[in-house]
Amino acid sequence: MTYTERYKGPKSLTPKEFTYCPGCHHGIIHRIVAEVIDELGVQGKTLMVAPVGCSVFSYEFFDVDGTVAPHGRAPAVATGMKRARPDRIVFTYQGDGDLAAIGTGEIIQAANRGEKITTIFVNNAIYGMTGGQMAPTTLVGMKTTTTPYGRNPANEGFPIHVSEVLKEITGVAFLARTKVSTPQDVNKTKQLIKKAFMAQINNVGFGLVEVLSTCPTNWGLTPVESLKWLEENMTKEFPLGVYVDKVGDIK
């Protein structure tokens, strides 16, 4: 048996090694976002906004012009970029702490303006970078370093459902919740991300894909156990599906 072709990484990723922990899904999500950018042929005109959190380094991993926003403000930064350069493709890459806690105002308002930007929202129900504190999406009963007895709704409220909140907003052109636990999931998620970019490219409106993700390090589980935990717990709390699609069929 001879191998005629080796797998090549997408052009829109730099050769820099990821800083993510083993079993974390950021790496997979980065790759498929980069593949989408390659396939759409927009690498040369894409601008990206990284958040604060584990994916703060993402501006170094994507081989496109990029910056790091103050914590939670990526949608406002992306708005300024897109308004300055409507001919560019602008995306933000944000975690649950960044987008759904400190940045709740900015994401809702950017969505409501129908800002022609795309947001990749990675939800792993915990703060990774700061060491495993409660996130707005932390599940009820889930133990974190700031909910050592488990998240108690009487004290900390309930996990916030970002996609369910955003689906009510008229300016949203594409919105889906997905996961990347299996190769099938990865392929499907890639198509959803492509649609979220098409919402921008076709000038329809704001696009967001929420990707349920693992955090083995701060969940205190092995990568394999984390996948199982995600399937058994997170998908129940955060139902998968396409919530808004005004983009229509794409080729």
- Return residues touching other proteins (CB under 8 A): 14, 43-47, 49, 56, 59-60, 62-70, 73, 76-85, 88, 105-106, 109
Beta pairing class for 241-245 and 172-179:
antiparallel
Return the number of the residue (58 or 214) whose C-beta is nearest other proteins. 58
Of 156, 57, 173, which is closest to residue 116 (Cα–Cα)? 173
Taking the C-alpha atoms of residue 174 and residue 65, their distance in angstroms, rounded to an integer, is 24
Return the number of the residue (45 or 143) whose C-beta is nearest other proteins. 45
Taking the C-alpha atoms of residue 119 and residue 117, their distance in angstroms, rounded to an integer, is 7
Quote the least distance from Cβ 103 to other proteins, whole Å.
10
Return the number of the residue (66 or 223) whose C-beta is nearest other proteins. 66
Contacts (Cβ under 8 Å, ≥6 apart) of 114: 170, 171, 172, 173, 205, 206
Quote the least distance from Cβ 161 to other proteins, whole Å.
21
Return the number of the residue (73 or 179) whose C-beta is nearest other proteins. 73
Quote the least distance from Cβ 90 to other proteins, whole Å.
8
Return the number of the residue (65 or 231) whose C-beta is nearest other proteins. 65
Q: Which phi and psi angles does 184 have, rounded to 5°?
A: -65, -45
Of 10, 65, 81, 39, which is closest to residue 198 (Cα–Cα)? 39
Quote the least distance from Cβ 234 to other proteins, whole Å.
29
Quote the least distance from Cβ 83 to other proteins, whole Å.
5
33 touches 194 (CB < 8 A): no
